[in-house]
Structure formats: structure tokens, C-alpha cells
Amino acid sequence: MYLYHIPQVSGVPISVGLIGRLLATFPDTIAGIKDSSNDWKNTQQLLDAFLGTGFAVFTGSETFLLQNLRAGGVGCITAGANVNPHGIDAVYRNWQTAKADQLQSGANAIRGALQSVPMIPALKAVIAHYAEDAAWETVRPPFTGLASSQHHQLLAQLGALDFAMPDIKA
């Protein structure tokens, strides 16, 4: 089982102490955590406490991917991978090379564009645009679609980054 730490949504943090108790009680069940706190200090605490134990630490955003890998984490589980799998994978595959920082900067720039407007509608708008299928823009409550100005802003930012989704069309 992987724990999901997202206190800004759940209202309840998963502490290092609680994880330690769960690992002691269920050593063959608890495998790791996705830390979506968006707080590197929290991720670092998890790594400091559990590095070398087999407990996998994933970040919840690609913006911390390289930092997490360098500190002993195992990767990221991120919504950004829905539209930028190649860029994020490039960071993962090349994290020990000279180009790692440049690749991370590119992934961060794309994530920044996506976060400049509401994230879930942004992801759907990007897929709709590159797939040339407006049906992808449909969101479910409580979300609302992007305003026209947000849509144009997002696509302009991604265009300035030479962003592409080469594998989206059949």
C-alpha cells in the first residue's frame, strides 16, 4: 500500500511518526508514499527518516523530481505527466547526467505554465488543443473550464516553450 500525503485537501497530515508506526505494524504492507504537500522540507524529512528501509518516497510534482532522486527518492507521481510525459521521463532517465538540471528546468517551465491557470482544466485544455478534440475540455463539478483569456494565455506560454505533444494523434 502506498500512502498519499495531501494535507491541503485531506486536512490531515501523515506524520513521520505515524508512518513509522504503520511500518512497524504492517512491514509487508506499507510500501511508500506520494508526498503532495508541495513542501520540500516534508519530503526531506521522509527521506531522512526512511532512506535505506525500502520505503519508497515519491513527490507529487515534477518540480521536485530531480531533487528527490538526488536525495534518494524514487520518482514522482504527477498530474503534469498527463501532458508532459516525455519531459518528465527525460529528467528521470537522465538525473545523473550533466544535462539533468537543464531538463528539470524545462519540466519546471511547463509545470509553471500549467499552474498559471487552474490545473485540471489546464490539463484538459492542453489535451483538447493538441488532440484537436474539443470534447477533452469537458470538466466535471466542482471544476469549470478555462476562461477564453486563460486558454489563450496557457497556449501562448506553452508555445513560447516550444511545447509539443507528438504522440497524441493517432
Position 166 scores a pLDDT of 87
The torsion angles phi and psi of 58, rounded to 5 degrees, stand at -110, 145
Please tell me the distance from the alpha carbon of residue 156 to that of residue 68, in angstroms, as a whole number: 30
* pLDDT tens digit sequence for 76-129: 999 999 999 999 999 999 999 999 999 999 999 999 999 999 999 999 999 999
Position 168 scores a pLDDT of 85
**Alpha helices, H only, 15-165:** 16-25, 40-50, 65-70, 85-93, 100-115, 119-131, 148-160
Query: Confidence class of residue 74 from pLDDT cuts 50, 70 and 90?
Result: very high
| Angle of CA points 34, 35, 40, to nearest 5° | 145
Q: Is the pLDDT of residue 145 over 80?
A: yes
Predicted TM-score (pTM) of the model is 0.94
Please tell me the distance from the alpha carbon of residue 8 to that of residue 14, in angstroms, as a whole number: 12
Position 90 scores a pLDDT of 98
Query: Confidence class of residue 24 from pLDDT cuts 50, 70 and 90?
Result: very high
Position 167 scores a pLDDT of 86
Domain ranges within the chain, ordered by starting residue: 1-77, 81-165
Query: How would you classify residue 38: left for phi > 0, otherwise alpha for psi between -120 and 50, otherwise beta?
Result: left
Please tell me the distance from the alpha carbon of residue 19 to that of residue 86, in angstroms, as a whole number: 32
For residue 100 the three cell numbers come to 539533468
Please tell me the distance from the alpha carbon of residue 76 to that of residue 10, in angstroms, as a whole number: 20
Q: Is the pLDDT of residue 170 over 70?
A: no
* pLDDT tens digit sequence for 29-72: 999 999 999 999 999 999 999 999 999 999 999 999 999 999 99
